[in-house]
Amino acid sequence: MADLCKRCEKKGCDAEITFALSSSTRKPLPLDRYPDPGRGTVRKVLTREHGEEVVYGQVLHGTALHTAVANGEQLYVIHFNTCLANRPLNPMPAHLRSAFSRPSTRPSRRRFR
């Protein structure tokens, strides 16, 4: 599984993504195509298994993540975090959300028994 690139197939996204095998589960891990030094948390590791190249993705946390950032490593973002298909289409502005959340001043027509 060499560096395979394709486009996200979710409606409204169409971003370029690449895949790596998760180092813990060995399942395909979709990553953004290019490294992001500010938000990246996944390190790509290229290894050779049974005569072919395999790309593993190590998700870094805590001290390992801080060390990788300090060393200037190229870290990738898991595509789910940046996929445009996961974003709300038209979020309600904050000033309207607060206006709708206020209790009404009209008397209620509900009858409680």
The string of pLDDT tens digits covering residues 65-89 is 999 989 989 999 999 888 888 776 6
Instruction: Work out whether strand 16-22 and strand 28-32 pair parallel, antiparallel, or are unpaired.
Output: antiparallel
Q: Determine which helix (DSSP H) or strand (DSSP E) holds 49, and give its type and residue range.
A: strand 42-49
On the question of pLDDT at 41 being above 50, the answer is yes
Sign of the torsion angle spanned by Cα atoms 15, 27, 44, 59: positive
CA-CA-CA-CA torsion sign (99, 102, 105, 110)? positive
Whether residue 10 is predicted with pLDDT greater than 90 in this model: the reply is: no
